[in-house]
Amino acid sequence: MENTDDYLNSLRHSCAHLLAKAVLELYPGAHNAIGPSIEQGFYQDFDMGSHSISESDLPKIEAKMREILPSWTHFDFNEVTFEEAKKLFKHNPYKIELIEEFSGEGKKLLTNNPGNFLDLCKMGHVENPSKELRHFKLLSTAGAYWRGSEKNKMLTRIYGTCFPSQKELDEYLVQQEEAKKRDHRKLGKELELFLLSPSVGPGFPLYMPKGFLIRRTIEQWLTKEKEKRGFQFVWTPHVAKSDLYKQSGHWQKYDAMFSPMKIDDDEYVLKPMNCPHHFQIYNEKPRSYRDLPLRIAENATVYRFEKAGEVNGLLRVRALTQDDSHLFIRHTQIASEIDNILDLTLMIYETFGFKDFKARISTRDPKSPDKYMGGTKNWDDAEKALVDAAKRHDLPHFIGEGEAAFYGPKIDMMVKDALGREWQLTTCQLDFVQPENFNLSYINEEGKSEKAAVLHVANLGSFDRFFGILIEHYGGAFPLWLAPVQLVLIPIAERHNEYVQNLAKLLREAGVRVEVDNKNEPMQARIRNNTLQKVPYMGIIGDKEVNDACISVRNRSGVETKGVTLSVFQSQLLEEIEHKV
């Protein structure tokens, strides 16, 4: 596995060099910046000088690459000195910046040359590009800031991919096309789940009846599961005084708040998070150690000023509803509470059949320890607690060094959408700072006041993003317990209507979401329509069913079961709903 990954990386990194050469030949004056191999292919950044390129130029560039390729029989490597390197790349300001940086870090400076194109480069190439690099395709262009910083110049990035064989390349491209069909924005429209209306505003999704039914079903189920685990639910308003966020520090540190508004003589904001509200509830009376852990939960809508270019379907919105909770705990309870949170999270993921996820544990940046508040001992313990918890739960995890918030480390679950982009769902953050800011304390066994620790937890993350991911995960074919319409009854002819209506009433009373499709269309058309709507079950009713008091069942995959007894059918449905499969 390791070896094939290495080879794929070499292949793609080599291909990025080929792309650089082709673009530089076609567009004199352009400079290549960096061109790494990435998970699904590679990219190469360019400063295009006075030129600009778009996706319509890709075929031309690809043709140039194929023209150059036969002359690339091997890469020549050389180690060069700082002075040599600066001389060799004097025309390219990006390479010069890299040379100076690498040299400053004491790294070796390496160049490669496949024959006619000298580039600064780390190692990792194929042996014979002319033979191995044949199965590539340029995919898209994009703007990308030099080194990812908005302060730098925006470069032109070209994305492409490369595989060892044409078959693998073709399979990848087909798979990408298939993935687009699962896009939650497309399915959301086709299945009438949610709406993004320009009149309401970008990032402010509206849930249609079917979408809201699914969301509410998840919400009700999760609320029950949390109550079983000792969470107490609250409700807090969507607007609060700015001063509240000044006290929490968000006003100073958090950049996604909407502009404040004035009410009477005070300044108010739409709430971007619920923590300070829940802290008010905690502080409403003196707390005893016997009250802890105190678990306050809220399915709370918050408002965040996400950048216009970042807003994306349901995955990044400006009005989102978190399944938020704040756990007020003693420091000795950290490990066990994190265990409980991970247990619940894994139970949720298992219920929905999520398998491809990993945990990211965000820790301090060892280079700048002064950035963090809360005491070294606390941090050491907390980071260890998170890693230990991940290990205890056999979670695939990695450390995000330097990614912790200033107030504490955290553990997040990362999942991928249909197009392979990674999103954070679950988050569990330890916090030692807000207890200081808000004096969140309790009286211990000895009658003395101690500071609580706070765990900020959102198990789904937000209902919105989770729903978006869920739509793509199921490709719109929701399991029975979530399906907005669980069963459609299709009478073959008008004379079967009465039987069907009675049956619908019966099943509805038993708790099944059932509809009757008696539109003036042939049965085949109605089967097709409901299949396209991904209704889990259709019940076909004709003379035979009416006479035998039974039902003919067809599922959305086309599997038919004829002559099913009504009582058997009903209990099968109810059982499937109960088991959430």
* Cβ closest to RNA, residue 9 vs residue 351: 9
Tell me the sheet residues that pair with 429: 410, 456
> Smallest distance, Å, CB 357 to RNA?
16
Give the nearest distance from C-beta 494 to RNA in angstroms.
4
Which one from 12, 456, 473, 526 is the annotated catalytic residue? 456
Q: What residues have CB less than 8 Å from 428, skipping those under 6 apart?
A: 338, 341, 342, 345, 410, 411, 412, 455, 456, 457
DSSP label at residue 435 = H
Cα separations in angstroms, 50 against 22, 58, 226, 568 = 17, 18, 59, 73
Residue among 347 and 493 whose Cβ is closer to RNA: 493
Closest CA to 411 of 394, 391, 390, 428: 428
Residue number with CB closer to RNA (13 or 326) = 13
Q: Tell me the closest approach of the beta carbon of residue 145 to RNA, in angstroms.
A: 4
Q: How far is CA 337 from CA 383, 386, 495, 506, 573, in A?
A: 14, 11, 61, 45, 37
Catalytic residue among 44, 322, 333, 486: 322
**Catalytic residue chosen out of the listed positions 45, 119, 323, 324:** 324
Spatial contact of 569 and 557, defined as CB atoms under 8 Å apart: no
Task: List CB contacts of 182: < 8 A, sequence separation 6 or more.
Answer: 418, 471, 472, 475, 476
The distance of closest approach from Cβ of residue 171 to RNA in the complex, given in angstroms and rounded to an integer, is 19
DSSP of 328-387: EE-GGGHHHHHHHHHHHHHHHHHHHT--SEEEEEEE--TT-GGG--S-HHHHHHHHHHHH
322 labelled catalytic: yes
Cβ(464)–Cβ(317) under 8 Å? yes
Q: Is 304 a catalytic residue?
A: yes
Rounded CA-CA distance 171/166 in Å is: 8
**Active-site annotation holder among 226, 304, 316, 397:** 304
Comparing CB distances to RNA, the nearer of 37 and 434 is 37
The two tokens of residue 44 are 């190469």
Q: Do 568 and 553 touch, CB atoms closer than 8 A? A: no
- Residue showing tokens 């706070």: 454
Q: What is the DSSP string of 219-274?
A: HHHHHHHHHHTTEEE----SEEEHHHHHHHTHHHH---PPPPEEETTEEEEE-S-S
- Nearest distance, CB of residue 522 and RNA, angstroms: 4
* Cβ neighbours for 344, distance < 8 A, ≥ 6 positions apart: 225, 226, 229, 459
Q: Decide whether 203 or 276 has the Cβ nearer to RNA.
A: 203
Active site residue 410: yes
> How far is 58 from 74, CA to CA, in rounded Å?
25
Residue 337 or 472: the one with the smaller Cβ distance to RNA is 472
Handedness of CA 428, 429, 430, 436 (dihedral sign): negative
Cβ distance to RNA smaller for residue 181 or 224 = 181
C-beta of 141 vs 322, nearer to RNA = 141
CA-to-CA distance for 235 and 218, rounded, in angstroms? Answer: 18
Instruction: Check if 326 is active-site.
Output: yes
Minimum distance, C-beta of residue 186 to RNA, in the bound complex (Å): 7
Question: Which residue numbers are catalytic?
Answer: 275, 304, 322, 324, 326, 410, 456
